Structure 1
Amino acid sequence: MEQFETIIIGGGQAGLSLSYFLTKLNSGHVILEKGDIGQGWADRWDDFCLVTPNWSVRMPGYPYQGDDPDGFMPRNEIVAHLKAYADSFGAPVRSGVEVASCAKTDEGFVVRTSAGDMSSRNLVMANGAFQKPYLPNGAETLPDTLTQLTLGDYKSPGALPDGNILIIGSGQSGVQISEELAMAGRPVTLACGRVGWAQRRYGGKDIVWWAERAGFYDHRLADLPDGARLAGNVLLSGHHGGTQDINFETLQGQGVELVGRFLSCDGQVAQFADDLDASNQFSNDRFNDIRNLFSATAEKIGEAVPEFSGKTKLKGTPRTEIDLTDYGAALFTGGFRPGYDSLLPTRGAYDNQGFPLQTDGKSDVVPGLWFLGTHFLRNRGSSLLLGVGKDAEVVAAALTGKPADQLG
């Protein structure tokens, strides 16, 4: 059985960031990736791109390398960037090795993989902030004649069956795909929930620039209201070069039919809540919160207070019942949930939502178990390309017992 000081599961930005620091410290480790480097990004749909600008891609020791810092990398460029990063320091990645399960032992861990069993003193779960697609209540009532897809199944408008498309979930992915389908001439119905929206740019600067200066990504989960962990990110898009806002009003203007929250189906008839106006009001309220935050930030740092758009306004009366006979597919875009317990099902190691109970990446329950890239691991930036490197530095120092000043 192969033995390692540390086994890292996942060859994305989290696993690679930690590997960078462990390599600097000459700490033995291996990265196990069931696909290839950056597979989580490669699995996104064909026209996927970042919603954060390229200058905010900050892998430790390897800032953005291209000539378009204010642009938004498409899927394939993200993957290429991560592969170049891994090559830059010789990351010990084993691609095509799938982890089936992990078990705690007195000495550490046994990891059962498609390439045989391996053992380690430390185990780091860096396999993504979320792993399991989320299906809403009532999903099981959709008719079997309707093709049903999760977010990971969607690739392009042309790959979907003929007919109208029902999208259930109005977070960033749901609205971006709705826009993409509408622009391709596909009739789309979007079942909307409560999610905020924001302008892409304020006073000529990207929203991420303002959010950093406002300390937004430094927010810790304990300082935020209950439910913040699963709250949807504000609606943004990197498409069109990041020059256009995206929200319920812009989608409606592109021909997307907006309805309320999906409830259930009775035969071929889908039923939706009469809450679209309430969801749009929620969206505008979050827009106002951001406006107030950035106004205060501008005054604090000596910037001119930027101009702000007005609230979104919707037209017409949304339907609450829709016959799905002419619909070809339903696409669930309500996001994902954690799946760490499927690899290491340890009692008491995770909360009731499946997130690890941990402190700065170190499990509160299982000695030698670490996490990285988890949503709100340390703060709001923990799962993002702009923040995961900071967490990796903290985890590397604690895992090895080496002073943080050796990692700079």
Structure 2
Amino acid sequence: MNPERTIDVVVIGGGQAGLAMSRCLSSQSIDHVVLERGDTANSWRTERWDSLRLLTPNWLARLPGWSYQGDDPDGYMSATDVAGYLDAYRASIDAPVHCGVEVTRIIGTGGRHVVDTNDGPWSARAVVMATGACSNPHLPAIAGDMPIHIDHITPIRYRNPSQLGDGGVLVVGASASGLQIADELSRSGRDVTLAVGDHVRLPRTYRGMDIHWWMDTIGQLDERYDDVDDLERARRLASIQLIGSPERRDLDLTTVAAYGVTLTGRLVGRSGHRAQFSGSFANMCTSADLKQRRLLDRLDEYAATHGLNAELAESTRPNPTTSAPPLLETDLRSIDTIVWATGFRPIYPWLDTSLLDHKGRLIHDGGVLPLAGLYVLGLPFMRRRKSSFLDGVGRDAAELADHLVGHLAYDLTRSRN
């Protein structure tokens, strides 16, 4: 075990957020280390299914001082590609990453923070938690009330259809992950039921351009956390129903229903061997279709206002969601596996609970915690809508690095006085 080491900043996490922060700190000559429990881009190597690709096109993979240099800018990187991309980024910035280091506790004392690890403690003037938002799958309480014969799996443990038993599959959650997994399982010949709650539907491309090109162009992805009326709701917003595929195909409820997926409303309970679903399915779909139509109207208006109509394809709108009448119940005896695609809840077991709210969520203002010298990076809509994207985490890192440098300067001035 190493003795306590002293440094200006400890960054926890060696993924895109931690590496982006390392680059920003290095550019300001701030002495720091990056502590990573596995290897660089650990979650991309160990917690992604085989067919997964980014939802954003490759040209949007932009980090501080680094961008995509491959020959397929309009494609979508696989998880393996992203890991390689981040490995190259780490090498290019010579990030001081310490791999295989697990953080066990952070204690604030005397203006410093002691970071305890399995490799000994670090004493730092500031700590940046950059462990991401997708490390701890959220399972609703009803998961514990399912029959004992059913296997449970989450998206970070799912790899491919061969991993599951031969019986039916219930996928709970119809955002990007749940919809993609339901689609893959159905195409493999599985009997799949998809429980649908609130969701966001958009086409993969519109008028010949990727939907993320549109959102980048109109500035929606840059909308800031201090400019929205209901930030808590914005941070809970489900990921868009999209898939990154070579053919740039759409993926929505109508698509998966056409391939045999049985659609239901939100899973709300169990009675004996029957799973029960909400009757709000139609309303959920109507709401998603309405929001999609409003956004596409906005895109058309932007194109007309900025003289882009001549350069773009004609407007072809997706049809409203259609499917067979949704089930209100299903027989759990026919289900071998439930895939819980019900989102994630970041956890910080090394932190004092006073830094968490009554729901266990981290208290922060755009990544700045109430305890001086503590920061978080990489959460959804942390400072802007694209905060958790490769293209967004870098700008957040730069802003937090500036705040952190100010903190260090103030701390130094105060200690001298």
Give yes or no for the alignment of 1:361 onto 2:367: yes
- Per mean C-alpha deviation after superposition, the further-off stretch among 367-376 and 129-138 is 129-138
Q: 2:223 is matched with which residue?
A: 219
- Per mean C-alpha deviation after superposition, the further-off stretch among 53-62 and 148-157 is 148-157
Q: Tell me the CA shift for residue 52 of structure 1.
A: 0.3
Contact 2:265 2:277 in 1 (8 A): yes
Alignment deviations for residues 77-96 of structure 1 (CA, whole Å, 9 cap, x no partner): 00000011000121111111
Give yes or no for the alignment of 1:286 onto 2:294: no
Give yes or no for the alignment of 1:26 onto 2:29: yes
Match of 1:257 among 256, 259, 262: 262
Give yes or no for the alignment of 1:4 onto 2:11: no
Query: Structure 1 pair 325/229, CA: closer, same or farther in 2 (3 Å)?
Result: same
Query: Structure 1 pair 148/287, CA: closer, same or farther in 2 (3 Å)?
Result: same
Q: Which amino acid aligns with 1:119?
A: S
Q: 1:173 is matched with which residue?
A: 177
Match of 1:141 among 138, 145, 165: 145
Q: Tell me the CA shift for residue 354 of structure 1.
A: 4.3
Q: Report the TM-score when normalising by structure 2.
A: 0.91
1:70-219 alignment runs, 5 A limit: 70-219=74-223
Q: 1:312 is matched with which residue?
A: 320
Partners in 2 of 1:285 and 1:220 — Cα distance? Answer: 24
Partners in 1 of 2:183 and 2:358 — Cα distance? Answer: 34
Partners in 2 of 1:353 and 1:338 — Cα distance? Answer: 12
SS of alignment partner, residue 69 of structure 1: coil
Partners in 2 of 1:20 and 1:165 — Cα distance? Answer: 44
Contact 1:71 1:242 in 2 (8 A): no
SS of alignment partner, residue 54 of structure 2: coil
Contact 1:98 1:113 in 2 (8 A): yes
- Per mean C-alpha deviation after superposition, the further-off stretch among 304-313 and 247-256 is 304-313
Percent identical among aligned pairs is 36
Q: 1:399 is matched with which residue?
A: 404
1:272-283 alignment runs, 5 A limit: 272-283=277-288
Partners in 2 of 1:214 and 1:148 — Cα distance? Answer: 41
Q: 1:406 is matched with which residue?
A: none
Q: Tell me the CA shift for residue 352 of structure 1.
A: 4.5
Give the unaligned 5+ runs of structure 2: 408-417
Alignment deviations for residues 273-294 of structure 1 (CA, whole Å, 9 cap, x no partner): 1222112112211211211221
Query: Structure 1 pair 232/360, CA: closer, same or farther in 2 (3 Å)?
Result: closer
Partners in 1 of 2:152 and 2:353 — Cα distance? Answer: 32
Partners in 1 of 2:52 and 2:172 — Cα distance? Answer: 18
SS of alignment partner, residue 383 of structure 2: coil
Q: 2:338 is matched with which residue?
A: 330
- Per mean C-alpha deviation after superposition, the further-off stretch among 391-400 and 203-212 is 391-400
Q: Which amino acid aligns with 1:345?
A: D
Q: Tell me the CA shift for residue 360 of structure 1.
A: 4.1
Match of 2:16 among 7, 13, 16: 13
Contact 2:194 2:261 in 1 (8 A): yes
Contact 2:289 2:321 in 1 (8 A): no
Q: 2:40 is matched with which residue?
A: 37
Contact 1:220 1:378 in 2 (8 A): yes
Match of 1:234 among 240, 257, 261: 240
Q: Tell me the CA shift for residue 53 of structure 1.
A: 0.1
Match of 1:271 among 269, 272, 276: 276
Alignment deviations for residues 220-257 of structure 1 (CA, whole Å, 9 cap, x no partner): 34414352211212211102x15211111001011111
SS of alignment partner, residue 120 of structure 1: strand
Q: Tell me the CA shift for residue 63 of structure 1.
A: 0.5
SS of alignment partner, residue 123 of structure 2: strand
Partners in 1 of 2:360 and 2:235 — Cα distance? Answer: 12
Contact 1:135 1:332 in 2 (8 A): yes
Contact 1:33 1:93 in 2 (8 A): yes
Q: 2:415 is matched with which residue?
A: none
